[in-house]
Structure 1
Amino acid sequence: MSIGDLNRLRWFQLVAEECSFTRAAARLGVAQSTLSHSIKQLESQMGIRLLTRTTRNVAPTAAGVRLLQTLSPRLTEIDEEIAALSAFRDKPSGSIRLTLSDHALDRVVWPKLKAVLRDYPDINVELILDSTFRNIVEEGFDAGVRLGESVEKDMIAVRIGPDWRLIAVAAPAYLAVRGTPMHPKELVGHACINMRHESAGGLYAWEFEKDGQELRVRVAGQLAFNNSYAMIDAAVSGYGIAYVPHDIVEREMASGALVQMLDDWSPFFDGYFLYYPSRRQNLPAFKVIVDALRLRDGQKS
């Protein structure tokens, strides 16, 4: 097999995984026309159609699915072996892709990474913000960041952040008109700012706990976001009650722009963990990232 054939196979894999020539071309840094022509050459060479193309979607054919299932683990092995060769260089190098939430990026991951990445100019890091639970193996990520309770059992998990909790907050002007709920069940009668979790099947049901009693409340309101910071801004603007991480709303509470309620019902969750398949742990560049993010005794973040 020539180098050109291998590249076309890699490009096919990316298009099939992204289900989009546009997104795949953006990730590869090539023109969409170049990518499309390369896939057509591969299909012509093999004598079979690998992808079905419509104006709205791209999907692998049955033959394409079979090729992808055969191809992906082998290309992954090749990439990992090539990356492992960087151990023979003076400094670790390579590309690391992580999937994580906006809150995890802002409060845990980026503050730690920006302190060390200047020392490793040959390590490239791609951080993809997403509120869904991605399959990091199938989607080509080296690792993901989730709360401890959500990590799959077959993954290696490294704690990178302390426990934290969600708290209910609203603007004083809103509470002056609508009143302050004293029990989570009273939220049903209020305008609430929802959080959408696509992987959880829709809008997040607010979780509360007190004295061993657990409650999940499905709230309603005019607005729903998949970004905690947008929820805070909406709450400050008086659109209702938001349920957001306590550590990103401290400034608004200190200034009086937001008021907390239901404090005794707001439980702590397991902090963030970096999770990844075992085969990643021996890559030098990945070791640098894990060591930078690891939560050590005495650290608060």
Structure 2
Amino acid sequence: MRLPLTTLEVFTAIANHGSLRAAAQALGTKPSTVSHQLKNLEDRIGTALFIRTTRSINLTEAGRALLRGTSPAFEQIAEAVESARTTGHAARGSLKLALPEYAYDLVVARVLPSFRSAYPEINVELSLTDAFEDIREAGLHAGIRLGDLIAQDMIAIRLTKPLRLAVLGSPAYFEKAGVPRVPADLLAHECIRYRFHSSGAFAPWEVEQPEGLSQVAVKGSLVVNSLSVAVDAARRGEGLIYLLHDYVAEDVRHGSLVPALTEFMPHVPGLFLYFPRAYREMVPLRLFVDHMRQHGGN
């Protein structure tokens, strides 16, 4: 038997408050409405739920049996409603982000420890992916991407300045193979290529020419799907890599990697944090954005 939830709510209110009038006040309705709902419920069940006198109202055996089942259910419903009301509106809960590996290294790694220390009740989940997935369908709250790869219906917040791409190799590699002087020279070099996890395609090597951007169809015997592995192989002299200059800025400063073809290297719009408009008031996300702005250093 399926009963209307409002009818069971009326029954529970009468049992908890001890009278029809008190139940009506708690529910914000009229005593006559409460009485009518109770009569309908007793008619549907086929038995009396209360013994009523001029001075009191008491549960029958059937009423006590029903109350044992409804009270926990309504307590769970109340807890669920409160959880829904507070989720995303307090400095606790979950924050799920999608981002590529380089975005973690460039903008998230240095601020994540201080953010977690400041907000220990926020659970952070990072999904490291190069896929351009729909974060809403994936059950995520926000993502970090290059600015030209973000859907127009998202709110986007800049995290970095525009970033320059770079071709780099180790001093040992350049000593052995020579330094490319023009983009076409890359065709004669061992290039470490990156294959996207999601699409299986190779990341393009783009260069700035007088006529605009163009791609160089580089070749190489080493293919990876991890930037850190590509960088490590380049440090060891196994070939050239093509990625964001900021990602290997420390290597350049220390001399373990040396840029080439710098005058041909294009810029990309920079990294942005993006999220659906529906999440703009979500407190864990807003706190993360504020923390990135204060401590990101960009």
Give the TM-score range, shorter chain: 0.5 to 0.7
Superposition TM-score, scaled by structure 1 size: 0.66
The equivalent of 1:21 in structure 2 is none
> Which range moved further: 129-138 or 253-262?
253-262
| One-letter amino acid of the counterpart of residue 234, structure 1 | A
Stretches (4+) displaced over 3 A: 79-84, 198-201
Deviations 1:233-273 (A, max 9, x none): 10111111111221232332233322211000112211111
Deviations 1:141-189 (A, max 9, x none): 1111100000011111111222212211112222222221111122112
Contact 2:129 2:197 in 1 (8 A): no
Kindly report which structure 2 residues correspond to 1:149-188, keeping only aligned pairs within 5 A, or say none. 149-188=148-187
The equivalent of 2:42 in structure 1 is none
Unaligned ranges ≥5, structure 1: 1-78
How far 1:198 moved relative to its partner?
A: 3.8
| Identity, % of aligned positions | 36
Deviations 1:61-87 (A, max 9, x none): xxxxxxxxxxxxxxxxxx998455157
| One-letter amino acid of the counterpart of residue 181, structure 1 | P
Residues paired across the two proteins, number: 219
| One-letter amino acid of the counterpart of residue 256, structure 1 | G
Give distance in 2, aligned partners of 1:114 and 1:188: 43
The equivalent of 1:225 in structure 2 is 224
- In structure 2, relative to structure 1, the CA distance for the partners of 1:93 and 1:162 (3 Å cut) is same
The equivalent of 2:111 in structure 1 is 112
| One-letter amino acid of the counterpart of residue 104, structure 1 | A
Give distance in 1, aligned partners of 2:101 and 2:213: 26
Q: CA RMSD in A?
A: 2.4
- In structure 2, relative to structure 1, the CA distance for the partners of 1:110 and 1:173 (3 Å cut) is closer
- In structure 2, relative to structure 1, the CA distance for the partners of 1:292 and 1:211 (3 Å cut) is farther
Give the secondary structure class of the aligned counterpart of 1:231: helix
- In structure 2, relative to structure 1, the CA distance for the partners of 1:117 and 1:184 (3 Å cut) is same
The equivalent of 1:85 in structure 2 is 86
Deviations 1:20-49 (A, max 9, x none): xxxxxxxxxxxxxxxxxxxxxxxxxxxxxx
Give distance in 2, aligned partners of 1:80 and 1:280: 19
> Which range moved further: 248-257 or 124-133?
248-257
Give distance in 2, aligned partners of 1:94 and 1:226: 32
| One-letter amino acid of the counterpart of residue 163, structure 1 | P
Unaligned ranges ≥5, structure 2: 1-79
How far 1:206 moved relative to its partner?
A: 0.7
Give the secondary structure class of the aligned counterpart of 2:91: coil
Q: Establish whether residue 238 from structure 1 lines up as the match of residue 237 from structure 2.
A: yes
The equivalent of 2:138 in structure 1 is 139
